Amino acid sequence: MNKKDINEIRRRFNLEHHNITCIHGCYVNSQGEPISTFVRYLQGMGQEEAEKFLSIFKRTLSGTQSQNLLDINFTPQQVMESQEHKLLMALRDSALKDEEIVDYFFQQVRENLHMEDHYLILLMHDGYDVPYRNSNGDKDEEQSSQVFHYILCSICPVKLTKPALAYDPAANNFHSKESDWVVGAPEMGFLFPCFEERSANIYRALYYTRDTQENHDDFVDALFQSELPMPAAVQKEAFQEILQESLQEECSYEVMQTVHEQVLEKMEEMKAEKITEPLKLGKHEVKKMLEECGVAPERTAVFEEKYDEKFGGLTDLSAVNIVSPKQFELRTPQVVIKVSPDRSDLVETRIIDGHPYILIRAEEGVEVNGVNVNIQQEK
């Protein structure tokens, strides 16, 4: 799913637009044992409670593609024969009305998910009347091309709050409030099937993970029998290590700055062309960037070798796992400098009297501890 498709489904999660038939829940303790199961209907809830459920589902489709939102692909053989795909299809096609299938799904999650805290599994079904779009991409609200039926699962930690003083409006006073179990933001979840090209793609699911360092591989393997890419944060660290080890003394500020700028330029080009798929870069594209920076051939050859060892020669990396489009950061043990990503030209490195310096050109609006200051010329 691209960003546009994801946002279209996210807009479903409000009281005016949803068509959620029911919400199944399973409350599980830290040992993986069920505490309770339930079925809820948004129509019978108060507004505040219903909005809290919808907020959880909406957050399960939030974050950055290729970091928090990951594509899961099913092979044709899985779609035809596998038990994991049959289970997902049965959940969707029954609109969660078959409690035996729902209970089996909850059992699969409990047996393969290990969390330190209690957690809540929420599972919902929705039917979306997909508006027709003409060749220009304009929406025609009067026409509906089809109904997109899908399920969405959210798994949230449930934690014990601390005792505190709380205001009691009836008594107009403060009283002690005991500890209580509270549902947190979703830790992981998924949508099946994917919404692509205005219809359902049963060959793909969209997986959500809040923590970019943890994909919960056991959970993914049990439910989807599919291997996810390396977690985004781990992928970024591995790529950084490859650069340092392969370029060695040629891993300069100027090289990193140029790579950053070239990746941002590619992102901007895709944005201008209204391409909503996340940018991915392969080994040869990164190698070409390094060559354009003047890195020696023997160093780029080492880069290729180490890239193959870590990721595999045919693996493309998401651009947001190589550079951050939101900031450009320099760090020493004592100082952290954060620069607007499109103004890395304000920073340069220089050797002065034998010592390395980071120089920042200050044009205007310089503040020290919130106070505007002037930079005075040497007398």
At residue 312, the pLDDT reads 85
How many other CB atoms are there within 10 angstroms of residue 25's CB atom? Answer: 19
Q: In this structure, which amino acid lies at residue 159?
A: K
At residue 119, the pLDDT reads 95
Low-confidence ranges of the chain (pLDDT < 50): none
At residue 139, the pLDDT reads 63
Q: In this structure, which amino acid lies at residue 236?
A: K
pLDDT tens digits, 173-214 = 888 888 888 899 999 999 999 999 889 999 999 999 999 988
pLDDT tens digits, 311-348 = 887 888 888 888 888 888 888 899 998 988 888 888 88
At residue 363, the pLDDT reads 77
DSSP 98: -
Give the whole-angstrom CA distance, residue 275 versus residue 199: 19
SS3 string, 184-246, reads CCCCEEEEECEEECCEEECCEEEEEECCCCCCCHHHHHHHHCCCCCCCHHHHHHHHHHHHHHH
Q: In this structure, which amino acid lies at residue 62?
A: S
Instruction: Kindly give, in sequence order, each residue whose CB lies less than 8 Å from that of residue 257, ignoring residues fewer than 6 positions away.
Output: 328, 344, 347
At residue 325, the pLDDT reads 83
Asked if 155 and 121 touch (Cβ cutoff 8 Å), the reply is yes
At residue 197, the pLDDT reads 87
Can you point out the beta strands (E) in the chain? 20-28, 34-40, 69-73, 118-133, 139-160, 164-168, 173-177, 181-183, 188-192, 194-196, 199-201, 204-209, 280-281, 317-318, 328-331, 336-339, 347-352, 355-360, 367-368, 371-372
At residue 143, the pLDDT reads 64
Planar angle of CA 337, 62, 79, nearest 5 degrees = 130
